[in-house]
């Protein structure tokens, strides 16, 4: 038989593996798949949803227009579309409100902002422009990472156009008929803060609704963005990122004390579980719940949930996820060789695509494929990606999983695992 692919000089066994890593990811995916959006009277914990640093861990989101950087693309475009003509401090207030509104929604719905539930573009959520204005880029950067919280948790941060404001600060016409949702909470705290009927009133994170027209007037009359936001959301609105003032919420590098024992804010990793001290309380989070791993981030944060180290595709990035071992696509063998993606229609050689130990997938005699096939046919444990679906053989059974259902993508993980949801 003439091989479609030559054997390599040195054969390395890469097919004897433990199935734990793939099983773990699929277990996580199943949890995500059954998670539902918070009902109107429920709200999730920011720590439970995002882990250490809370919402500050979010750096990109998936929208109906694809992946976007949260701070450098999405938020400046929301600012531009929602209130782009406003005065500069109003634009900053808009950026903080839009950031808080999105991250709070993602806190309550684990799928939102992933490929399984893209963030929409429209007034039913938040609208964003095709591109951002320079003023909105600057306003977003000036408030980078700043969100609104009450009692340590993200608020809903509703906002509407509201009525126009007259030169003297009195209310004028209400062309959008949205003034009924606006709340005026200047100087109010705690239970005295008026919630908005735009959201479920009993929710503790319902701290009112900002008027965009009102924020513009306030900005033009000397208010900065912090006082604008507290004008509508209450004087006890907490405005900060997850880590403020160059220090750490857990008390820096000193022992955590209280219920933390010797654990500090910089924390420690036990496998994929992150443990740290924050606000005098010991907290923990399984980083795999966010598709990440526990590891050192930097000196200011310490250990955190971080992206797993990228595993280079083998043998060359020019082939994407395809390795030299390759895979079968119907009767065609596909593999990577010398940095180039190659394929051969085995049927044209009166052969079939199947596994050959010395090479990987290859064009082989039909009787060889029948001997090795079983219920999995030509598919091995290393598997392959069929679009965004990972396909592999485990325990003599052919298995498939739609990675998109968990907000993940199908790709090549490593030589000992093969293709997986990543």
Instruction: Give pLDDT tens digits for 271-290.
Output: 878 887 776 777 777 777 76
**Residue 337: which pLDDT band, with cuts at 50, 70 and 90?**
confident
**Residue 374: which pLDDT band, with cuts at 50, 70 and 90?**
low
Give the integer Cα–Cα distance in Å for 70 and 54. 15
Residue 202 predicted with pLDDT over 80 = yes
Give the integer Cα–Cα distance in Å for 83 and 91. 7
Tell me what the mean pLDDT of segment 149-168 comes to: 94
From the list 376, 381, 358, 378, the residue with the least C-alpha distance to 368 is: 378
Poorest-confidence range of 90-104, 163-177, 293-307? Answer: 293-307
Residue 368 predicted with pLDDT over 80 = no
**Residue 182: which pLDDT band, with cuts at 50, 70 and 90?**
very high
Give the integer Cα–Cα distance in Å for 283 and 47. 9
**Residue 359: which pLDDT band, with cuts at 50, 70 and 90?**
confident
Question: Per 3-state DSSP, what percentage of the chain is helix, strand, and coil (rounded to 5)?
Answer: 30, 25, 45
Give the integer Cα–Cα distance in Å for 393 and 378. 9
Residue 159 buriedness (CB in 10 A; 0-12 / 13-18 / 19+): buried
Model pLDDT, residue 231: 98
Tell me what the mean pLDDT of segment 79-95 comes to: 96
Model pLDDT, residue 284: 79
Q: Decide which of 303 and 40 is more confident.
A: 303
From the list 124, 27, 116, 112, the residue with the least C-alpha distance to 61 is: 112
Model pLDDT, residue 175: 95
Q: Decide which of 230 and 364 is more confident.
A: 230
**Residue 141: which pLDDT band, with cuts at 50, 70 and 90?**
very high
Sign of CA dihedral 354, 357, 363, 367: negative
User: What one-character DSSP code corresponds to residue 330?
Assistant: T
Model pLDDT, residue 39: 33
- What average pLDDT does the structure give for the chain? 76
3-state secondary structure of 265: coil
**Residue 378: which pLDDT band, with cuts at 50, 70 and 90?**
low
From the list 94, 103, 128, 127, the residue with the least C-alpha distance to 210 is: 94
Give the integer Cα–Cα distance in Å for 276 and 248. 11
pLDDT tens for 15-73 read 221 222 222 222 222 222 222 233 344 555 555 555 555 555 577 899 999 999 999 99
Please state, in angstroms and as integers, the Cα–Cα distance from residue 67 to each residue in 56, 87, 104, 248, 374, following that order.
17, 29, 19, 30, 40
Tell me what the mean pLDDT of segment 202-216 comes to: 95
- Phi and psi of 377, rounded to 5°? 60, -125
Residue 314 predicted with pLDDT over 80 = no
With a pLDDT cut of 90, the percent of the chain lying above it is 37
pTM (2 decimals)? 0.52
Does a cis peptide bond (omega within 30 degrees of 0) precede residue 382?
no
Residue 252 predicted with pLDDT over 50 = no
Residue 4 predicted with pLDDT over 70 = no
């Amino acid at each position: 038989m003439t091989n479609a692919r030559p054997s390599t000089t040195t054969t390395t066994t890469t097919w004897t593996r433990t199935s734990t890593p793939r099983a773990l990811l699929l277990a996580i995916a199943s949890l995500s798949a059954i998670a539902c959006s918070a009902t109107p009277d429920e709200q999730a914990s920011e720590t439970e949803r995002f882990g250490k640093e809370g919402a500050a861990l979010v750096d990109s989101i998936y929208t109906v227009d694809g992946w976007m950087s949260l701070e450098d693309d999405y938020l400046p475009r929301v600012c531009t579309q929602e209130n782009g003509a406003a005065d500069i401090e109003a634009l900053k207030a808009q950026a903080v409100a839009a950031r808080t509104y999105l991250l709070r929604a993602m806190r309550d719905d684990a799928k939102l902002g992933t490929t399984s539930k893209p963030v929409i573009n429209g007034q039913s959520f938040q609208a964003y422009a095709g591109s951002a204005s320079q003023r909105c880029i600057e306003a977003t950067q000036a408030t980078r990472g700043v969100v609104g919280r009450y009692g340590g948790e993200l608020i809903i941060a509703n906002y509407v156009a509201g009525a126009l404001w007259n030169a003297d600060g009195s209310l004028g016409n209400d062309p959008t008929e949205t003034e009924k949702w606006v709340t005026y909470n200047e100087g109010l705290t705690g239970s005295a803060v008026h919630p908005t009927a735009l959201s479920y009133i009993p929710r503790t994170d319902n701290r009112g609704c900002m008027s965009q027209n009102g924020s513009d007037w306030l900005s033009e009359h000397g208010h900065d963005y912090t006082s604008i936001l507290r004008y509508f959301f209450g004087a006890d609105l907490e405005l900060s990122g997850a880590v403020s003032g160059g220090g750490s919420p857990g008390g820096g590098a000193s022992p955590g004390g209280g219920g933390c024992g010797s654990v500090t804010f910089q924390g420690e990793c036990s496998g994929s579980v992150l443990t740290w001290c924050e606000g005098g309380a010991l907290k923990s989070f399984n980083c795999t719940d966010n598709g990440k791993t526990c590891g050192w981030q930097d000196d200011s944060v310490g250990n955190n949930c971080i992206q797993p180290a990228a595993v280079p595709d083998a043998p060359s990035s020019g082939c994407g996820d395809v390795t030299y071992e390759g895979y079968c696509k119907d009767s065609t063998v596909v593999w990577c060789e010398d940095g180039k993606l190659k394929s051969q229609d085995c049927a044209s050689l009166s052969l079939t695509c199947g596994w050959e130990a010395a090479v990987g997938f290859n064009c082989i005699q039909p009787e060889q494929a029948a001997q090795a096939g079983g219920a999995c046919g030509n598919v091995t444990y290393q598997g392959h990606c069929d679009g965004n679906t990972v396909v592999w053989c485990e325990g003599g059974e052919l298995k498939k999983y739609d990675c998109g259902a968990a907000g993940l993508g199908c790709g090549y993980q490593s030589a000992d695992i093969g293709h997986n949801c990543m």
